[in-house]
Amino acid sequence: MKASRLSAGYGRRVVVSSVELELQPGELTVVVGPNASGKTTLLKTLAAILKPVAGAVYLSGEDLSCISSRRRARMVAAVLTGRPDVGGMTVEEVVAMGRYPWTGPAHILGPRDRKAVEEAMEKTAVSHLRERRVSELSDGQFQRVVMARALAQQPQALILDEPTTHLDSRSRLEVFTLLRRLAHVDGLTVVASTHELELAFRFADKLVLVADGDVVVADDPEAMALDRRFLHAFGLDEKLRLSPATLSVEFTSDAEMNQGPSVFVIAGAGTGAPVYRALTKQGYRINTGVLHENDIDYHVASSLGLNVVAEKPFQPIGAETFQRAVNAFDVSDAVVYTCPPIGGLNVRNLELLRKSLGKGLPTYILSTTGATYFEGVETVHSVRMLLEKLPTAQEKKMKTV
Amino acid sequence: MLFVSFLSSVLVGSVRLPTEHVLMHLFGLNRDSALLGAVVDLRVVRTAAAVLTGVSLGVAGAMLQSLFRNPLADPFILGISSGSSLAIAITLVLGLGLGFVQTYDPYALYTAGALGAAATSLLVVFFSTFAKTSVGLVLAGVMLGYLNAGITTLIITLSEVETVRAFSFWTLGTFSAAKWSVVEPVLPLMLAGLAVAFLLGKPLNGLAFGDEAASSMGVWVRGSRVATVAAASSVVAAATVVAGPIGFIGLAAPHVARLAARTVDNRFIIPLSGLTGGTLAVLADITARSIMPPLDLPSTAITSIFGAPLILVLLLRSGRTV
């Protein structure tokens, strides 16, 4: 499937312009973009439901806007959003509607048609629902039925607009797994749009960004994670952060919201992450350290936008770094020690704990295993308990007054 | 069911006739008495007219409900029937006044009726793009119906006594005036409309998925819509020429058909709705002339009395979704 100098829109109004796309059979292309960016318009134009404002869409060398709707429907099938009012039909009847471009005026199914319907229902795992009325289906089941209907058209290209909206995470995964199979195993050209960036990165062979009337194509989806236009379109350069390593999105805490007491968290190896998130939610300002730059806690803390005292990977904590952590104590109202595993490289974190006790700061040890590490220091056993002990924003205000 | 009601319709009437004589005459076994023959022939024509009207309205109702994706669509409610009678009234008044047409020229009346129906249908289609809810569409239709009826009344009131008498046959909505001379000419047009209607089952099934999804399945959306409006207008006009605007058969028949057949497949529902409509029309006609014999009530009164509550029930049931 190929789009050249394609402008998509309604009537004269152009929504996305000068699109150059080349999609191969056996490839799953995922279209991402913020709301109202023109994803749907682009997909409908690719499916030849909308006429291109300019340019053309070719499939197997044929201009889709120049062939009969019947022939077109044998070549490209579309799954659109919304739940049409066909509640009275059975699943099998709906899937059989996919044979529309193949049957005669009375829509009587021949043996080939029946076979296509059966195969489509098998691929989407809806065979057992065949007698059910569409109105009784869950959203996930309905989506699979509509996909079966599209497959019954036996198209070369399958175009889906937001096939995972309103679905729970398991159904979302099922839909994308199915799409990947249709592309890789059955050799279809599959194009789907979605809001779920994480799904898009994980499943796309090719990633297409639609934003501000422009279309950006990335043959390597991972490259998109570094693209400035992409980050800007999704606001990933502001309050949201996308980590290129794990391709997951974290929210940066809002500076205005986090005016609460300042807490220093001594963490490492993932023991800090739940504490960071819980404290951020409650509006605490957080300093944390000493973390190594290859530590998962470092990763979480920096995507949350916390102040991190960090040491270079695989280096013992140096004196200068240690001093920076101690200095941070001066602006902290409390210290939390999350019992990280201690080894040769981060042994000075223990020293840091002793320093805070020496300074007389309120210090808490979070030990989720239940063991008591240090006599004489208050030990809590869950993040919830910790939150009860820490000074609240109100208490802090009273003190300053 | 249709056959049984057809027979009973011929058997029942204000002149009591022995059943076996009527049956024998019908099947050509014993054609003796002139009086008997005359009465029976009259009833056969009348019943045939009722069947044709009912079938037309049933088929048109099924098509319109599917096209508008609205369980309340019906040629009468959407004002299509009254559009047809308005056009007939105009033709009668102008035609008679200017001497273009004869009083009972069914061809001219049919053409006018079909144009009136089509014009109203197109207006309803136009409104339905704004009024997206069931209630909105029905309101638009009812208002169009009132408008048509108002203009019709105005025209009739202002015209001569002769014309008024000629027109009164249609506005009453009764099969009592049916004559072969009226039924025969519109028959081919009605049949053509029905033939097109049966072919529209497949595209209408596709359109149920929404215009864009239908288009992606290979439905020629605009063509199917135009054909549906044309076929519905054609049969509604035929029904209106024969019997005047008859309400609610077009509404009830598709629902009865869907309930009975337990499917929403238009390939079956459209013909079934036609059969149901025919049966309902004959039953209404029998009722109309049996309640207070020899008084002949307008059938539309009967269908309205039974049909109006049906609409209320449908509205209440769909109240949450419209």
Residue B221 clears pLDDT 70, i.e. is over it: yes
Burial zone of A66 (CB within 10 Å; 0-12 exposed, 13-18 middle, 19+ buried): exposed
Interatomic CA distance for residues A49 and B114, integer angstroms:
33
Cβ neighbors of B237 (< 8 A, separation 6 or more) are B84, B110, B113, B114, B115, B116, B117, B189
Asked if A202 and A268 sit in the same domain, the reply is: no
Over range A366-387, report the average pLDDT. 76
Over range B223-237, report the average pLDDT. 84
Tokens for A134?
A: 């569409």
Q: What is the pLDDT of residues B237-276, one digit of tens each?
A: 888 877 777 778 888 888 888 888 888 889 999 999 998 8
**Closest-CA residue of chain A to B322:** A85
pLDDT value, residue B14: 46
Over range B173-198, report the average pLDDT. 77
Percent of chain A surpassing pLDDT 70: 94
Asked if A10 and A83 sit in the same domain, the reply is: yes
Asked if A204 and A289 sit in the same domain, the reply is: no
Contact check, Cβ <8 Å, B219/A97: no
Residue A113 lies in a domain: yes
Chain A residues near residue B267 by CB distance under 8 angstroms: 106-107
Tokens for B45?
A: 């024509």
Asked if A197 and A323 sit in the same domain, the reply is: no
Among A77, A82, A85, beta carbon nearest to B216 = A77
- Smallest CA–CA distance, residue A170 to chain B, in Å, is 26
Asked if A190 and A269 sit in the same domain, the reply is: no
Domain final residue pick, A176, A202, A235: A235
Contact assessment for residue B273 and residue B257, using Cβ atoms and an 8 Å cutoff: yes
Chain A residues near residue B202 by CB distance under 8 angstroms: 100, 103, 105-107
Residue A73 clears pLDDT 70, i.e. is over it: yes
Q: What is the pLDDT of residues B143-176, one digit of tens each?
A: 888 888 888 888 877 777 766 766 666 666 566 6
Contact check, Cβ <8 Å, A107/B218: no
Among B69, B216, B219, beta carbon nearest to A85 = B69
Residue A29 clears pLDDT 90, i.e. is over it: yes
Residue A365 lies in a domain: yes
Asked if A63 and A88 sit in the same domain, the reply is: yes
Among B199, B216, B219, beta carbon nearest to A47 = B216
Residue spans per domain, chain B: 2-318
Interatomic CA distance for residues A250 and A270, integer angstroms:
15
pLDDT value, residue B320: 40
Over range B121-128, report the average pLDDT. 77
Average pLDDT for chain B: 76
Q: What is the pLDDT of residues A228-280, one digit of tens each?
A: 888 888 887 777 777 777 777 777 666 666 677 888 888 888 888 888 888 88
Q: What is the pLDDT of residues A142-181, one digit of tens each?
A: 999 999 999 999 999 999 999 998 888 888 999 999 999 9
Residue A242 lies in a domain: no
The CATH number linked to A357 is 3.40.50.1220
Contact check, Cβ <8 Å, B206/A106: no
Q: Is A252's Cβ below 8 Å from some Cβ in B? A: no
Among A47, A69, A93, beta carbon nearest to B220 = A69
Q: What is the pLDDT of residues B84-110, one digit of tens each?
A: 888 878 877 776 655 555 555 667 777
* Lowest-confidence region among A11-25, A303-317, B301-315: B301-315
Percent of chain A surpassing pLDDT 90: 26
The CATH number linked to A213 is 3.40.50.300
pLDDT value, residue B200: 92
pLDDT value, residue A294: 87
Over range B16-21, report the average pLDDT. 57
Average pLDDT for chain A: 85
Burial zone of B315 (CB within 10 Å; 0-12 exposed, 13-18 middle, 19+ buried): middle
pLDDT value, residue B166: 65
Q: Domain of residue A218: give its range.
A: 2-235
Domain final residue pick, A235, A261, A295: A235
Asked if A196 and A264 sit in the same domain, the reply is: no
Residue A14 lies in a domain: yes
Fold type of domain B2-318: ABC transporter involved in vitamin B12 uptake, BtuC (1.10.3470)
Q: Is B213's Cβ below 8 Å from some Cβ in A? A: yes
pLDDT value, residue B24: 57
Contact check, Cβ <8 Å, A98/B209: no
pLDDT tier at A373 (50, 70, 90 boundaries)?
low
Residue A243 lies in a domain: no
pLDDT value, residue A99: 93
Tell me the C-alpha to C-alpha distance, in Å, between residue A74 and each of A23, A29, A40, A101, B28. 18, 20, 21, 6, 56
Chain B residues near residue A46 by CB distance under 8 angstroms: none
Q: Is B195's Cβ below 8 Å from some Cβ in A? A: no
Chain A residues near residue B206 by CB distance under 8 angstroms: 97, 100
Residue B67 clears pLDDT 70, i.e. is over it: yes
Contact check, Cβ <8 Å, A84/B210: yes
Cβ neighbors of B35 (< 8 A, separation 6 or more) are none
**Closest-CA residue of chain B to A133:** B263
Domain final residue pick, A181, A210, A235: A235
Looking at the structure of chain A, the number of domains it has is 2
Among B199, B212, B220, beta carbon nearest to A44 = B212
pLDDT value, residue B97: 55
pLDDT tier at B1 (50, 70, 90 boundaries)?
low
Residue A92 clears pLDDT 60, i.e. is over it: yes
Contact check, Cβ <8 Å, B265/A49: no
Residue A247 lies in a domain: no
**Closest-CA residue of chain B to A79:** B213
Q: Is A49's Cβ below 8 Å from some Cβ in B? A: yes
Q: Is B217's Cβ below 8 Å from some Cβ in A? A: yes
Asked if A290 and A362 sit in the same domain, the reply is: yes
Asked if A227 and A374 sit in the same domain, the reply is: no
* Lowest-confidence region among A384-388, B30-34, B149-153: B30-34
Asked if A214 and A292 sit in the same domain, the reply is: no
Q: Is B289's Cβ below 8 Å from some Cβ in A? A: no
